[in-house]
Amino acid sequence: MKAAAVQLNSGADVEANIAAADLHVRAAAADGATLVVLPEKWTVMGSPDDLRAGAQRLDGSAVTWARETARELGVDLVAGSMAERLDGGDRLGNACVHVGPDGEIKAVYRKLHMFDVEIEGKPYRESDTDEPGEEIVVSELADGTKLGMSICYDVRFPELYRVLALRGSRVVAIPAAFTVPTTRDHWETMVRARAIENQVFVLAANQVGEHPGGHRSGGQSMIVDPWGRVLARLGDEPGYVVARLDFAEQDAIRRRVPLLEHRRPHIYSSSLPGEGRRTPTFNSFSSSLPGSGEGGTPTGGEG
């Protein structure tokens, strides 16, 4: 399988952003990619007012374009994440939509972790506009390969990616809009770490450049293999990267280093503080994983 990560410089003009995505998705498909991932907030980037003005429902022009384009090109298209208009009030969702080559929506994942931080003196309060999701999502590609879904700031929470791997994900998508400082200092390290510790392919598609509202994203979109090797990387311009995903090599890595089989979840869960608190702990993610021996059902941009 050949896969692509698309890097965009999205702004406040939704239709211009769709046109830019269309250009690069078509180029990636012409280059042989059958799985294409767009970045976070690809439909609209900017101030809270820009996000609210550009937000759409899942039957809007953005997802309509994704469905028509995936069907036309015969690709699995992970339509990054979009500002989703929710019912009631002015709260938004941050939704990642996976569309299959038949043009049907296969899965919708809503970002679990809100980017409420301070970076080099600049505060970010994603929770002021966005409603967090409550569900971990594994989708399925056209060939049956399991696809783990995540968005941006999620990459800082390794327990999520362990759940995705233990639920069968062989590929994980990380649409993102990482800031310039966090791209510089953290992006590659965390993307490669999530690949290594879960022995999965990671398709990390980042925004790049300046956006309305004073935002700046760092680019460096990449595709990483289960050994942590960077198979392809983009720099500081919009475009795409493509790489071949060798699942036979992934199987070989998992045989040689069977780390997922070496887990000892009964020790991890018994050692965690704060059980019963409202904030999820690792145990709340691991409680219904294959081989854990425990019951329950887990629920669950960075700029």
**What six digits make up the tokens of 278?**
């409202």
pLDDT digits over 56-93, tens only?
999 999 999 999 999 999 999 999 999 999 987 789 99
111 is annotated as an active-site residue? yes
Catalytic-labelled residue, pool 41, 84, 126, 152: 152
Handedness of CA 94, 187, 5, 259 (dihedral sign): negative
Handedness of CA 213, 214, 215, 219 (dihedral sign): positive
Q: Does residue 208 register a pLDDT over 70?
A: yes
Facing residues of 230 across strands? 224
pLDDT digits over 122-139, tens only?
999 999 999 999 999 999
pLDDT digits over 198-207, tens only?
999 999 999 9
96 is annotated as an active-site residue? no
As a whole number, mean pLDDT of residues 217-223 equals 98
Q: Does residue 187 register a pLDDT over 60?
A: yes
* Fold topology of 2-265+280-286: Nitrilase/N-carbamoyl-D-aminoacid amidohydrolase (3.60.110)
Whole-angstrom Cα distance, residue 201 to residue 157? 17
Catalytic-labelled residue, pool 40, 84, 126, 302: 40
Predicted pLDDT of residue 120: 93
Predicted pLDDT of residue 269: 83
Catalytic-labelled residue, pool 41, 111, 126, 302: 111
DSSP 89-154: TT-EEEEEEEE-TTS-EEEEEE--S--EEEETTEEEEGGGTEEPP----EEE-TTS-EEEE--GGG
pLDDT digits over 2-35, tens only?
999 999 999 999 999 999 999 999 999 999 999 9
Entry field: residues in the chain: 303
Predicted pLDDT of residue 290: 56
